[in-house]
Chains A and B, each alone.
Chain A
Amino acid sequence: EVQLVESGGGLVQPGGSLRLSCAASGFTFSDHYMDWVRQAPGKGLEWVGRIRNKPKAYTTEYAASVKGRFTISRDDSKNSLSLQMNSLKTEDTAVYYCTRGNYSGVNWYSGDYWGQGTLVTVSS
């Protein structure tokens, strides 16, 4: 059974840092692209970023709203995905989900499996 379990959320002051983790199991983690998606309270979904797999040199993509502040990394030996968040702003307050990417035959889509989410609150 595919499982994604996020951890590391909490309350942080503006300007602070936080590191989220996502533990994956039930599939060959190293084969898949992985994404982070967030959802501010009462709002819609926002894609945060992606990390590709080893054949694609673990390259990353980010939303403009987080580029330069957030860093996605992965450890295939531990089936683990991370999101390092620096210079946090109040508008980063959201539930953060890790999602598994899958290949459609022509391109990689995200979200065939999702974690339960972890809440990050940025407030003084």
Chain B
Amino acid sequence: DIQLTQSPSFLSASVGDRVTITCRASQGISSYLVWYQQKPGKAPKLLIYAASTLQSGVPSRFSGSGSGTEFTLTISSLQPEDFASYYCQQFYSYPLTFGGGTKVEIK
């Protein structure tokens, strides 16, 4: 199975900060990676697919990059509604796997 390691698992940031979350795969997965945002009590929301393609309707302050084994999700200027948990998931091979998540909280 492909393991995805997200870092950090928790980060504290202020409105307007630039935030970067990393997802490392245990083996190469090309660009077969997606990023989700999840708020408490809600279903996850797709932000990025194929490592760097912004899902329709997602603000442009979100961006994704990487290929192979290292990927990043960047929020260029953190907004109040961005405080949430973020997860990566690979769709390169079965079983599909998720990273452990990154919780972004208000400093």
Contacts and interface: CB of A to CB of B under 8 A. Distances in A.
Partners in one complex: yes
28 contacts: A44-B87, A44-B100, A45-B36, A45-B87, A45-B98, A47-B98, A50-B94, A61-B96, A62-B95, A63-B95, A64-B1, A64-B95, A102-B49, A104-B32, A104-B53, A104-B91, A105-B50, A107-B91, A109-B32, A109-B50, A109-B89, A110-B34, A110-B96, A111-B34, A111-B44, A111-B89, A112-B55, A113-B46
Interface of B: 1, 32, 34, 36, 38, 43-46, 49-50, 53, 55, 87, 89, 91-92, 94-101
A107 B90 CA distance: 11
Interface string A53-86: 0000000011110000000000000000000000
The 4 closest A-B pairs by CB, nearest first: A114-B43, A47-B96, A109-B91, A45-B98
B80 to A, nearest CB: 23
Interface of A: 35, 37, 44-47, 50, 61-64, 97, 102, 104-117
B98 A44 contact: yes
Nearest to A62: B95
A109 B95 contact: no
A63 to B, nearest CB: 5
A124 to B, nearest CB: 27
B33 to A, nearest CB: 9
B43 A115 contact: yes
Nearest to B51: A104
Contacts of B32: 104, 106-107, 109
Nearest to A46: B98
A113 B89 CA distance: 15
A52 to B, nearest CB: 11
